[in-house]
Amino acid sequence: MNHHKLVVGNWKMNPGSVAEAKKLVSRIKKASAKLSNTEVVICPPLPFIVPCTRRRKPVGMFMGAQTVSWETESGPHTGEVSVMMLRDLGVEYIIVGHSEQRKRGDTDETVSRRLKAILESGLTPILCIGEALRDESGAYLESLKNQIKASCANVSHKDAKRIVIAYEPIWAIGAAEAMKAEDVYETSLFVKKVFSDLFGADAGLKVKVLYGGSVTFRNAHDIMAIGKVDGLLVGRESVNAPGFIELIKVVDDVK
């Protein structure tokens, strides 16, 4: 882990063709090479990982995947993809526990198993957490705490330092506006506190906390500068080349 800011582009089930994917990654690659303080991870759909991977590793840009199986041994696991398969393709980061995967049946227990498999493979997990509702009583904080504790149940203190946490409130995904930057700051501090309680003060200080949820190049500066997060998890804007390139430039300029 280093002190660079991190922007992760989660392409979800986009774009519609290999040609579009290759064109998009080419533009992002050129822009990423010019950044001074920021690293970029792109997470295309699985079929596009190989076409989007360059023989020579790009400067400032890394390949990621949107999910992975918890199964680590080859065998009768139809439709599953292992961490070793992804690593062999050049993947270095893997998103785990995204709310859209949780909605399809992922639980804290299965997220924990995926997280363990990623860490054992030497790759970097991007652990997604987020509340469905932000109540005034603060019960959502307990929900976040429980998600972190349960998802990291089998994580050692040594491996904890390699985890990236992406705070993505479910109610903000696809919304007209992102969460207020001041609220992002308070929640990111809480996440680091929980992580410190679990794995020690050093791990809590070093863990990267990203924000995701309706992020665009227009609000990226305030989220980074006021929210004081370590980076962003970007959804729909990540497949809009002009917007995403402007966004990573904005992030890179934040002091």
Instruction: Specify burial of residue 117 (Cβ count, 10 A radius: 0-12, 13-18, 19+).
Output: buried
Q: Domain count of the chain?
A: 2
In this structure, the answer to whether residues 88 and 35 fall within a common structural domain is no
0.75 surpassed by pTM: yes
In this structure, the answer to whether residues 102 and 26 fall within a common structural domain is no
Strand partners, 6: 39, 231
DSSP code string of 124-165: EEEEEE--S---TTSHHHHHHHHHHHHHTTT--HHHHTT-EE
Q: Which of 39, 98, 131, 237 is catalytic?
A: 98
Q: What per-residue confidence (pLDDT) applies to 192?
A: 97
Return the axis-axis angle of helices 241-253 and 18-32, rounded to nearest 10°. Answer: 20
Rg (CA), the chain: 17
In this structure, the answer to whether residues 94 and 165 fall within a common structural domain is yes
Q: What per-residue confidence (pLDDT) applies to 1?
A: 45
Catalytic residue status for 168: yes
In this structure, the answer to whether residues 123 and 190 fall within a common structural domain is yes
Q: Which of 131, 136, 157, 168 is catalytic?
A: 168
In this structure, the answer to whether residues 54 and 106 fall within a common structural domain is no
Structure tokens at 178: 């992102």
Structural domain contains residue 5: yes
Residues of the chain with pLDDT under 70: 1-2
Structural domain contains residue 134: yes
In this structure, the answer to whether residues 29 and 96 fall within a common structural domain is no
In this structure, the answer to whether residues 48 and 103 fall within a common structural domain is no
| C-beta of residue 52 within 8 angstroms of C-beta of residue 20 | no
Helices (H), 161-238: 181-199, 201-206, 220-225
In this structure, the answer to whether residues 81 and 108 fall within a common structural domain is yes
Structural domain contains residue 235: no
In this structure, the answer to whether residues 23 and 148 fall within a common structural domain is no
Structural domain contains residue 143: yes
In this structure, the answer to whether residues 55 and 98 fall within a common structural domain is no
The amino acid occupying position 109 is E
CA distance 3 to 114: 26
pLDDT tens digit sequence for 224-252: 999 999 999 999 999 999 999 999 999 99
| C-beta of residue 8 within 8 angstroms of C-beta of residue 41 | yes
Q: What per-residue confidence (pLDDT) applies to 2?
A: 58
Structural domain contains residue 222: no
- Using alpha carbons only, what angle is made at residue 125 by residues 236 and 88, rounded to the nearest 5 degrees? 95
In this structure, the answer to whether residues 77 and 58 fall within a common structural domain is no
- Using alpha carbons only, what angle is made at residue 210 by residues 61 and 155, rounded to the nearest 5 degrees? 95
Domain boundary residue, one of 10, 43, 63:
63
| Structural domain boundaries, residue 115 | 67-209
Structural domain contains residue 9: yes
Structural domain contains residue 72: yes
| C-beta of residue 248 within 8 angstroms of C-beta of residue 7 | yes
Give which of 146, 191, 183 is closest to 166, Cα–Cα: 191
| C-beta of residue 38 within 8 angstroms of C-beta of residue 246 | no
Beta-carbon contacts of 86 under 8 Å, excluding residues fewer than 6 positions away, are 49, 65, 68, 94, 123
In this structure, the answer to whether residues 152 and 102 fall within a common structural domain is yes
Structural domain contains residue 230: no
What are φ and ψ of residue 44, in 5° steps?
-80, 170
